[in-house]
Every structure is written in C-alpha cells, then in structure tokens.
C-alpha cells in the first residue's frame, strides 16, 4: 500500500471499530506533522464506536452517505462498509479526482499496519534530524520498522495467495454459469480481449470459442471488416456521436440497465440466409467503479421478423377485402343509425364528437349539427374527471366501461348511463366509439334501496342519538332550574355566574343541534356526486352517532388512521353508511360471542387505514363470532343474514358492497369461526399532485 499522507483530506464511510483505530492514528501525535484532515465520518448507525469517537474529537458525522459525495476537497474515501446501496451511491464520485479505498476486514487491518509503519517512519526521521542521536535507539527503531514492513509484506503475500485462489474458483464458477446459459453471451476485458464465448454464442454465430478467446476478433462473426462491437463501445467509453457513427439510428440506451446500450441489426454473414439479432452490452465494474470489461448478450429475432412480415402480408390482404366490402358502407350506416343505444363517434385526440346515430338525437334532444365539435366530456358532469382520464389512457383496440355516469339532455334534465367505449378505426380515422345505455330506472331503485338501508341503520342508532341529545338537554335543564330558584328566592345572580351558565346553555344547544344536523345529513337522500375526500373523515363521523352505543356494549375501540393518507373519489354520506353498517355488525357479533360463552370477553374493534401501492386500504376487524366459509360466500347476497328473525334485514352488507363497488373499490373478508372477522376495503387513490 503506497499512499502519500501529507496534507491528505479524508472521508470515512463506516463507523465500526477499525474506524476508531484509524482516526486515533491519523489524528494522533505520531502523524501530526503530516497535517492530515478528516472531513467527515458517515454511518447510518449513530452508536458505533467510530461515530462516537469522531463526535468526541469534534469531527463532523452524517447518517446520509449522499452527503459524502457532495463534499468538495476530498482526496480519498476510506470505505469500511460493503452494501449494494453504498456501491450505487459511490458510482457518482469522480474517481479521477477522488480515490476510493475499499477496505474489507483484512484490508482495514492492512491499512492500520501501513499507518503504524508510517508513524515509525516519521519517528525515525525526527530522530535523525534530532541533535541528540542515540545510535542504539536508532538501530532499534530501524529494526522495528524493518520487521513491521516484513510482517506486513508476509501478511499481504499470504492474503493475496488466498485471494488469488478464491478468484480462480470464482472464475471457474463464472465460466460454468456463462457456458451453461442458453443466452448467447461473450465477455471482453478492458483491453478489448475476449475472455468468454459461451456455447450458445458458438451455436448462433458458427464460430467456436477456441478460435476467438484470447483475441480481439469479436467482430469477425458479424462484420466483413473490423468494427467495434457494442461491448467495445462500452469498454472504449465512446461518446454518443461516435456510437451513432457506427450504428446510426439502430442503437439506444437500455431502459433496464444503467450505462448499457442495445441495438437491433441484420447480419447477412451469420447463418445461411443471415439473421436479425438484438444485442445488449453492459459494463463490468471493479469495486471502485472503474470499467474493467463488458458483457454482451445476443437474441435471434429472425423468426419474429418472419412473423412480422407475414402479419404485414395479412394486413395487405385485409385491406383488399376492405375495398371489396367498402360498397356495403350504406348497409353498416343503417345498422349504426338503428342501433337501440345512443352511439357517439369521438376524436381520439381531442375527444370532440365527430358523428352520432339517430338514437342520440332522440334521447338527448340535441340537433345533430349542434353536437358536432362538442367535447364528449360536456355531455356529462364536468366535475367527474374519471371519464377523461380513462379515455386519454385507452390504448389501440382496447375497451373500457364507465358505470352509473350522469348525462344531461338539451333541456337540462339529468339521467344515468353506462358507457362502453372502444378504441377503433372509423372512416380511415383513429376514433373512440362510445355506446350509452340508459340505466336511470335501476339507479333510482338502487338509491331507494340504499335510503331504506339508511333508515334501518338509524333505528339501531336511536339509543345513541337519544344519549347524545339528552346530555346537553340535562345541562340546559339544570342551568334553567338554578336560575329560576335564585330568582324566586330573590337572590341576585352574580354576573360572572350568569355568564358561565349562559355559555353552558349556548354550548350544549350547539352540541344538540350538531347531533341533530349530523343525523339529518346522514338520513337525507343524496345525489350521486363524487368528490375528493379523505377516508378518515367518514370513519371518524361514525363515532359521533355510535359512540354511546360502543360504551354501553363495553367495546374497546382502537383507531390507527394514517393522517397523511391520499384522497379517494367518493361520497361522504354513503361511505359513512358503509362504516356504520360494519361497526354495528361487529358489535352484534361480539355480543353474540359473549352470550354464547356465558361470561365476559374482551370486545375490541380495530379500524386501520393505510396506503398499499396506488390503493387506499381500510381494515375493520372485531373479536366476535367469526364466519364459516359458507357464510363468507353468501355474506354480500341481498336478504342473507345470520341474525335472529327481526334483528336484521340482510341488506346492510349487500348495500355496502354495492356502494364500495361504485367507487371502484373492493371488499374482502378474512375470518375463522370463533376468531373474529376482518373486512378489508380497497379504493383507488387519487394522486396528491
């Protein structure tokens, strides 16, 4: 190890025990005259010895390895840790200006021995410069220094021998892996010499490994004259301009592998009839980030190209058939106009209406000419962005279904439709074909069913509402009685007491009014109006009306609601109905379990909200009776209930399932008999941006 320590500026990554030992020597009195500076020590663990010692002697410490890369003026980075993330971060370091010493356990000890030898060297120099030179002491120091150098060399030689044997074994394993691969592969080193050429590569190119390995003739199977392969491009560090000179527009950067290139070409020299080959080359790097070689893989696309040509031929034949049937266009126009559903032809790019059938004019009431050029989005609720988002993301030949969307007729009257949209070609133009089916009657019936479910739910909430209203009424009654008694007895009521009682009356009137308003809002029949909302809000509102009921039934509530959860698109009123239904069912199940066990059980209701990918998840779990597989399979069927006659309608979970489905969500159940149940609700999240 040969490093000039004088004036060196050092950063250390890894605060383990060797870090402390290195700091003690680098900054100790033995090397003081070399003016070495340690700028920073980095480790994600803040209680390791090196970090603690660095803080103690006033050296800057960080937990983010990225900060080391941002520091200027560093000469060398001592890397005492080894993980993939750290290797990716250090790739950003300019190794032409900054050296990276990758010190594993052995190399760290070797570096410490080097530093101790440097200490002894400095001490010997100081003794030589000293006026008072003791030859015996100097000889002793020289002997110690020589012994240390010899010991270090012996250890280094022994380690290198073991490391060389390990590398030979690794090379054998690597060769076996590459040889056994079914993907044609070859590898070159940093001098452009072939080190590996596997059997699959031999079979594809017709050139054997023994002909090419050890040479720089990797171009031979592909070209009639010498030219860089893509692996040579990587090793040579060619600029994009140079690459384009050789590969034109057929190459590109890999979307999967950093710093890798890929291309597709036809090679007439390979095989009897030539071959189309897709090839990818990626760099092979040393631990310090230097390119030491490149690996190139090949894929035979010849059969794929033949299939593509066959498809193009079929397209030509289909075009011929189209010309034959073009004369029948009037027949298809008749079918278009007489379709029982309204049909819109929409420009795929602008979403403007290009054509409509007669049924649109009849049902919507607009003259046909007035619809041309109008955006299809304007036929419905402009606040509902789901249709626009769905249409803009629709790929060629794909179809999409929008359910229960509100549309408006010319007179302003609204009605509900299901819209099926197909990405297709119409009159030689890329268009969207949308078919709208009037479902107003079924939506109204469903709304009535949901409203009936709300009224049934209000019955179960009656006791809780009575308690919530009685409490403020009792306070108002007490304050009023006290005022009357004091007036009858002729006592003057102090102003401050009167103000307190008046404020109590006002606060409790407001509280009672709030409860009544919340119940009225819940009970009213709401229009379908999807808005952005936070799922935690309807969950919290459930406890405004069921809080007392949970106390009476001795139910312990555990809420774990993510405060930073993204919004969903739904209706507060209906979601509250879903969660009230789930909570009341949980209470009933836990009560039933307590009665069957003839003793007290711990009744726990848990509600948790969290993000899972691009979905919002709500878990509602209880410690109740649980369900059999048969009950789970029927739980969402209308009028199915496990409760005693008169205690349940069998509509609650069915209605809840329909509401959640309307918002693009799902409900799943995890349950075992006697072990409680968990309802898992998932909704598509709206991006916060």
Query: In this predicted model, what pLDDT tens digit does every residue of 205-257 receive, in sequence order?
Result: 889 989 999 999 999 888 888 989 999 999 999 988 998 888 888 889 888 78
Q: What is the pLDDT of residue 645?
A: 45
Q: What is the pLDDT of residue 274?
A: 86
Query: How far is the C-alpha of 656 from the C-alpha of 128, rounded, in Å?
Result: 92
pLDDT band at residue 270 using 50, 70 and 90 as cut-offs: confident
Mean pLDDT of 199-207: 90
Residue 682 pLDDT > 90: yes
Inter-residue contact 346 to 353 (CB < 8 Å) = yes
Query: How far is the C-alpha of 113 from the C-alpha of 107, rounded, in Å?
Result: 10
Place of tokens 């919004």: 567
pLDDT band at residue 397 using 50, 70 and 90 as cut-offs: confident
Residue 192 pLDDT > 60: yes
Here the contacts of 347-350 (C-beta below 8 Å, separation 24 or greater) are 347/429, 347/431, 347/432, 348/394, 348/423, 348/430, 348/431, 348/432, 349/430, 350/375
Specify the range with the lowest mean pLDDT, choosing from 82-86, 387-391, 621-625.
Answer: 82-86
What fold is seen in the domain 339-437? Beta-Lactamase (3.30.450)
Query: In this predicted model, what pLDDT tens digit does every residue of 428-472 receive, in sequence order?
Result: 678 889 988 888 877 776 666 555 555 555 555 555 555 566 566
Query: How far is the C-alpha of 146 from the C-alpha of 144, rounded, in Å?
Result: 5
Rg (CA), the chain: 39
Residue 390 pLDDT > 70: yes
478 phi/psi in degrees, rounded to 5? -60, -45
The per-residue pLDDT of the chain, averaged, comes to 80
Mean pLDDT of 661-688: 87
Specify the range with the lowest mean pLDDT, choosing from 131-135, 321-325, 421-425.
Answer: 321-325
Residue 536 pLDDT > 90: yes
Sign of CA dihedral 213, 216, 217, 222: positive
Q: What is the pLDDT of residue 644?
A: 56
Which one-letter DSSP state was computed for residue 10?
E
How many other C-beta atoms lie within 10 A of the C-beta of residue 288?
A: 17
Q: Which of 66-75, 111-120, 473-482, 594-603 has the highest mean pLDDT?
A: 66-75
What CATH number was assigned to the domain covering residues 9-157? 3.40.50.720
Which two structure tokens, joined as six digits, stand for 286? 């040393």
The residue extents of the domains of the chain are: 9-157, 181-300, 339-437, 444-684
pLDDT band at residue 53 using 50, 70 and 90 as cut-offs: very high
Q: Which CATH class is domain 181-300?
A: alpha beta
Residue 557 pLDDT > 50: yes
**Residues above pLDDT 90, as percent of the chain:** 18
Q: What is the pLDDT of residue 631?
A: 80
Specify the range with the lowest mean pLDDT, choosing from 109-113, 259-263, 482-486, 558-562.
Answer: 482-486
CA dihedral 593, 598, 602, 608 (to 10 degrees): 10
Mean pLDDT of 398-405: 85
**Secondary structure (3-state) at 416:** strand
Mean pLDDT of 500-518: 66
Specify the range with the lowest mean pLDDT, choosing from 115-124, 255-264, 278-287, 433-442.
Answer: 115-124
Please name the residues in contact with 281: beta carbons below 8 A apart, sequence gap of 6 or more. Answer: 229, 230, 231, 233, 234, 260, 261, 262, 294, 295, 296, 297
Specify the range with the lowest mean pLDDT, choosing from 371-385, 505-519, 586-600.
Answer: 505-519
pLDDT band at residue 399 using 50, 70 and 90 as cut-offs: confident
Q: Which residue has the higher pLDDT, 638 or 216?
A: 216
What CATH number was assigned to the domain covering residues 444-684? 3.30.565.10
Q: What is the pLDDT of residue 290?
A: 82
Q: What is the pLDDT of residue 646?
A: 44
Inter-residue contact 304 to 325 (CB < 8 Å) = no
pLDDT band at residue 281 using 50, 70 and 90 as cut-offs: very high
Q: What is the pLDDT of residue 456?
A: 54
Specify the range with the lowest mean pLDDT, choosing from 121-125, 577-581, 645-649.
Answer: 645-649
Mean pLDDT of 7-12: 91
Residue 186 pLDDT > 90: yes
Please name the residues in contact with 117: beta carbons below 8 A apart, sequence gap of 6 or more. Answer: 145, 148, 149, 152
Specify the range with the lowest mean pLDDT, choosing from 50-64, 403-417, 641-655, 656-670.
Answer: 641-655
Using alpha carbons, select from 618, 515, 603 the residue that is nearest to residue 559.
Answer: 618
Query: In this predicted model, what pLDDT tens digit does every residue of 37-52 receive, in sequence order?
Result: 999 999 988 889 999 9
Mean pLDDT of 661-687: 89
Q: What element of type H or E holds 407?
A: strand 399-408
Inter-residue contact 77 to 95 (CB < 8 Å) = no
The DSSP code sequence of 152-165 is HHHHHHHHHHHHHH
> Does this model's pTM top 0.75?
no
- In this chain, the answer to whether the domains covering 9-157 and 444-684 adopt an identical fold is no
């Amino acid at each position: 190890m040969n490093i000039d320590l004088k004036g060196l500026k050092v950063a250390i990554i890894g605060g383990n025990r060797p870090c402390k030992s290195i700091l003690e020597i680098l900054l100790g009195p033995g090397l003081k005259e070399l003016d070495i500076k340690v700028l920073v020590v980095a480790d994600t663990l803040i209680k390791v010895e090196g970090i603690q010692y660095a803080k103690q002697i006033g050296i800057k410490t960080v937990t983010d390895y990225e900060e080391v890369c941002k520091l200027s003026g560093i000469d060398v980075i001592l890397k005492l840790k080894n993980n993939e993330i750290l290797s990716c971060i250090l790739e950003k370091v300019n190794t032409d200006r900054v050296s990276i010493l990758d010190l594993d356990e052995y190399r760290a000890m070797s570096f410490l021995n080097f530093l101790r030898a440097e200490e002894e060297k400095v001490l010997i120099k100081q003794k030589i410069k000293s006026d008072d030179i003791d030859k015996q002491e100097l000889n002793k120091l020289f002997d110690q220094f020589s012994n240390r150098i010899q010991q270090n060399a012996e250890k280094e030689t022994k380690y290198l021998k073991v490391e060389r044997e390990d590398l030979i074994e690794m090379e054998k394993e690597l060769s076996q892996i590459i040889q056994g691969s079914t993907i044609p592969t070859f590898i070159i080193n940093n001098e452009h010499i072939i080190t590996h050429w596997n059997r699959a590569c031999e079979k594809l190119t017709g050139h054997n490994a023994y002909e090419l390995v050890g040479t720089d003739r990797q171009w031979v199977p592909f070209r009639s004259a010498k030219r860089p392969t893509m692996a040579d491009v990587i090793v040579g560090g060619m600029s994009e301009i140079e690459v384009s000179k050789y590969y034109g527009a057929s190459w590109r950067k890999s979307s999967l592998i950093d710093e890798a290139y890929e291309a597709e070409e036809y090679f007439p020299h390979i095989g009897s009839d030539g071959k189309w080959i897709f090839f990818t080359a990626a760099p092979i790097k040393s631990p310090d980030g230097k390119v030491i070689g490149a690996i190139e893989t090949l894929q035979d696309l010849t059969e794929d190209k033949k299939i593509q040509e066959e498809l193009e031929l079929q397209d030509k034949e289909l075009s011929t058939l189209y010309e034959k049937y073009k004369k029948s266009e009037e027949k298809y126009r008749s079918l278009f106009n007489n379709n029982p559903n309204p049909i819109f032809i929409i420009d795929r790019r602008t979403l403007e209406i290009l054509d409509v059938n007669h049924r649109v004019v009849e049902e919507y009431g607009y003259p046909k000419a007035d619809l041309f050029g109008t955006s299809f989005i304007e036929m419905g609720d402009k606040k509902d962005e789901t249709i626009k988002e769905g249409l803009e993301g629709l790929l060629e030949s794909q179809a999409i279904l929008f359910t229960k969307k509100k549309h408006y007729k010319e007179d302003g009257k609204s009605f509900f439709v299901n819209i099926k949209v197909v990405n297709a070609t119409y009159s030689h133009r890329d268009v969207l074909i949308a078919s709208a089916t009037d479902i107003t009657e079924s939506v109204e019936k469903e709304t009535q069913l949901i409203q009936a479910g709300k009224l049934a739910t209000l019955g179960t909430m009656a006791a809780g509402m009575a308690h919530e209203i009685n409490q403020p009424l009792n306070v108002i009654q007490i304050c009023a009685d006290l005022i009357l008694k004091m007036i009858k007895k002729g006592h003057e009521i102090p102003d401050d007491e009167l103000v307190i009682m008046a404020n109590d009356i006002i606060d409790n009137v407001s509280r009672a009014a709030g409860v009544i308003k919340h119940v009225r809002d819940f009970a009213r029949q709401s229009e379908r109006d999807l808005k952005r909302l936070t799922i935690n809000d309807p969950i919290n509102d459930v406890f405004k009306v069921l809080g007392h009921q949970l106390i009476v039934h001795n139910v312990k509530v555990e809420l774990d609601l993510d405060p930073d959860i993204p919004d969903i698109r739904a209706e507060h009123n209906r979601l509250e109905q879903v969660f009230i239904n789930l909570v009341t069912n949980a209470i009933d199940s836990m009560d039933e379990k307590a009665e069957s066990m003839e003793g007290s059980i711990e009744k726990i209701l848990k509600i948790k909200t969290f993000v899972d990918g691009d979905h919002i998840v709500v878990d509602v779990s209880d410690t109740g009776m649980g369900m059999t597989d048969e009950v789970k399979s029927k739980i969402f069927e209308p009028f199915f209930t496990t409760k005693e006659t008169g205690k349940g309608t069998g509509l609650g979970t069915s209605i809840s399932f329909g509401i959640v489905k309307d918002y693009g969500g799902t409900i799943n159940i995890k349950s075992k008999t006697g072990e409680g149940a968990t309802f898992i609700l998932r909704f598509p999240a709206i991006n916060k941006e």
